Amino acid sequence: MAPLPDEIEAYGLVLRRWRPSDAQAMHDAVVANTDHLRPWMAWIALEPMSVDDRRALVLQWEQAWSEGGDVLLAVWRDGVVVGSTGLHQRIGEGGLEIGYWVDVDHLRRGIATATARAATDLAFTVPGIDRVEIHHDVENLASRGVPAGLGFRDVGEQDSPREERAPAETGRDRMWRMTREDWLSR
């Protein structure tokens, strides 16, 4: 499978695949956001990481992406990392799931919404992708506002397929879906 697209500039943001050369910028962003992300992002349990660990992780992501795996993208605004997003192939054929987080000093300015909008545009550039989904813990009300605001359809709840739990997560996910047809005709 061809690698997923890895860059888009839209809505005042640049979404670009995390590169090994971004390791320091990623490190600074994650360190500044560890407390903010801990309740909802299970991977924060791996912190603290060094810049070298971070670079090694990005190299693993790069390898997986180049072989047709998921893509993880930094979100830049005016040359500053304001968040991160990803297109994940874990909802079955023809689907991509979007994840995201936003820097604690940039909340409630529409950045997650703009990020998810750009990531959805990017996802639908991939031939064969007919739906994009956003899944969030049922208690994560901040995350819920993003797909709801973009017109994704609430398609119900399921037990989270992930075994790792962040401290605030209940293990129950709400799922939102956007079809290619609805996105392109909106």
Ligand X SMILES: CC(C)(COP(=O)(O)OP(=O)(O)OC[C@H]1O[C@@H](n2cnc3c(N)ncnc32)[C@H](O)[C@@H]1OP(=O)(O)O)[C@@H](O)C(=O)NCCC(=O)NCCS
Closest residue to ligand X, judged by C-beta, is 145
Please tell me whether residue 79 adopts helix, strand or coil conformation: coil
Q: Please list, in sequence order, all residues whose beta carbon lies within 8 angstroms of the beta carbon of residue 146, skipping any fewer than 6 positions away.
A: 100, 112, 113, 116, 134
Alpha carbons 109 and 94: distance in angstroms, whole number: 31
Residue 2 has which token pair? 């061809």
Residue ranges binding ligand X (CB under 6 A): 37, 40-41, 100-102, 107-113, 136, 140-143, 145-146, 149
Closer residue to ligand X, CB minimum distance, 6 or 103: 103
Min separation Cβ 99 and ligand X, Å: 6
Alpha carbons 76 and 70: distance in angstroms, whole number: 19
Amino acid identity at 107: L
Closer residue to ligand X, CB minimum distance, 55 or 75: 75
Min separation Cβ 102 and ligand X, Å: 4
Min separation Cβ 104 and ligand X, Å: 8
Min separation Cβ 45 and ligand X, Å: 14
Closer residue to ligand X, CB minimum distance, 71 or 111: 111
Min separation Cβ 56 and ligand X, Å: 24
Closer residue to ligand X, CB minimum distance, 64 or 166: 166
89 with 69: CB under 8 angstroms?
yes
Closer residue to ligand X, CB minimum distance, 157 or 181: 157
